[in-house]
Amino acid sequence: MKHSAGDDFATIPFYKRAIELDPNFAMAYARLGTVYGNFGQVDLSEQYRNKAFELKERASERERLYITAHYYADSGQLEKGIAACELYKQTYPRDVTPYVNLSATYVLQLGQFEKALENAQKAIQIDPDEVRGYEHSARAYIGLNRLDEAKAILKAGLQRNPAFVYLHDNLAYIAYVQGDMATMEKEEAFLHDQPELEMGVALRHGDIAALRGQLQRAREFYEKARQITQRLQLKDGEAGSLAGQGWILAHFGHSKQAIETADAALAISQSYNIKLFAASDLALAGENKKALELAAQVGRERPDDTLTQAVNVPLIQAVAVLNSGTAKKGIELLNPASPFDKANTFVMYVRGLAYLKMGQGNEAAQEFQKILSLRNFAATDALMSMAQLGLGRAYRLQGEKQKSRTAYQDFLATWKDADPDIPILKEAKSEYAKLL
């Protein structure tokens, strides 16, 4: 979620009123597209972006560049989006917008942290009153495992403007990474007055509980986030919180509950991202037919969306293939995702599972190690603990009993307070006992 002047949830009525006064006001549509995109309302976002693109010839040159860059980048057409932002930079080198947008693409979607940092730092130089320069710089530093510099840039942003409240969320995240729970709580105290920020806190704590195998506690936090999305009337957010629960349930082996939760998410929203999220849940839970139907539907509807075509649809297909036992085909299906997996733990995890099924312990271990190398960047990702278990299984395949025992011990230590009835925990304990 990105926050900046002009891209706030509270600005929605302003831009809608502007459109009422001038139905051909291209930038009002473009701004609404950005705002709704920031809050995960992808269908609404696309609707407004498309309208802005239709009207772009009525806009100024600078506005046309803004509209074009968002039209491509926010619809998953990454190469065209990057090219449009680069043209924007060349044409208006003192405009901060293309720098913050490029830094977001590089840090969040491509995992190219050096490029993200370069653009985010330039954004701060151009406009030190633009919050996203600080936020994206911090995220890039975290990806580069430079946590002290991440904290320093966030504190510099808050010193510049204490109203940059969202930066406290990033500081809370870093405190968690460093095991400083007192500082984490102190930073989160700044966030409870704004529902959209409080929602992020609830989701983070849900993720942390899931990471530790505390399923019931995780679901309580996810439910809190869902209630906030209901108050904000964010249907995709509400459905996403349910789909997130389904994703955890499926990974943990609660297949029936995962399917029910994914179906509940689809009953709330039929936007393409929810269809893909639910399809992932369904595939992980073994419901191949419906998962593949949803993936194929989104794939047909979004032929130019790089992430849909190269990552999301192949991921769902690969999981479905693994369910049927043809692991080699799963590896092949994931080949198009390789350029995007530097920051995508799910791609690496599924690839690791495929190698495990093929009996290739060394290759599986490499995939799980790549996930664990993102421990700072994706510290609250439940796949961090699942990768520990995967590593134990990979080493066991290689006959590396001591390394395997250590990896299992790491997983069981992370899950020491886990709910005892989780199927994958029972499997892990049984496998570990055989190594003793």
Q: How far apart are the first and last CA of the chain?
A: 46
* pLDDT per residue as tens digits for the range 257-315: 999 999 999 999 999 999 999 999 999 999 999 999 999 999 999 999 999 999 999 99
Q: What is the DSSP secondary-structure string of 70-112?
A: HHHHTTT-HHHHHHHHHHHHHH-TT-SHHHHHHHHIIIIII--
Confidence of residue 325 (pLDDT cuts 50, 70, 90): confident
Confidence of residue 8 (pLDDT cuts 50, 70, 90): low
Classify residue 290 by burial, with Cβ atoms within 10 Å: 0-12, 13-18, 19+: middle
Residue 89 reports pLDDT greater than 50: yes
pLDDT score at 193 = 87
* pLDDT per residue as tens digits for the range 92-129: 999 999 999 999 999 988 999 999 999 999 999 999 99
Average pLDDT over residues 159-166: 94
User: Count of CB atoms within 10 A of residue 401's CB?
Assistant: 12
Nearest to 323 by CA among 292, 277, 346: 292
Please report which helix (H) or strand (E) contains residue 128, including its range.
Answer: none
- Tokens coding 62: 């600078």
- Tokens coding 70: 């968002």
pLDDT score at 3 = 36
User: Count of CB atoms within 10 A of residue 347's CB?
Assistant: 24
Computed over every residue of the chain, the mean pLDDT equals: 94
CA atoms of 331 and 351, how far apart (whole Å): 6
* pLDDT per residue as tens digits for the range 381-391: 999 999 999 99
Say if CB 394 and CB 356 are below 8 A apart: yes
Cα 407–chain centre separation: 26
Average pLDDT over residues 191-195: 90
pLDDT score at 184 = 98
Average pLDDT over residues 201-214: 97
Average pLDDT over residues 319-328: 91
Average pLDDT over residues 337-357: 94
Say if CB 398 and CB 361 are below 8 A apart: yes
pTM of the model: 0.93
Nearest to 215 by CA among 425, 412, 410: 425
3-state secondary structure of 348: helix
* pLDDT per residue as tens digits for the range 123-154: 999 999 999 999 999 999 999 999 999 999 99
pLDDT score at 339 = 87
CA atoms of 96 and 25, how far apart (whole Å): 22
Confidence of residue 1 (pLDDT cuts 50, 70, 90): very low
User: Count of CB atoms within 10 A of residue 432's CB?
Assistant: 19
Nearest to 103 by CA among 128, 85, 91: 85
pLDDT score at 7 = 59
Residue 321 reports pLDDT greater than 70: yes
Q: Which of 38-42, 58-62, 374-378, 386-390 has the lowest mean pLDDT?
A: 38-42
pLDDT score at 5 = 39
Say if CB 72 and CB 304 are below 8 A apart: no
Around 60, how many Cα atoms within 13 Å sit in the side-chain half-sphere? 7
Residue 45 reports pLDDT greater than 80: yes
Quote the crossing angle between the two packed helices 113-126 and 97-104, to the nearest 10°: 160
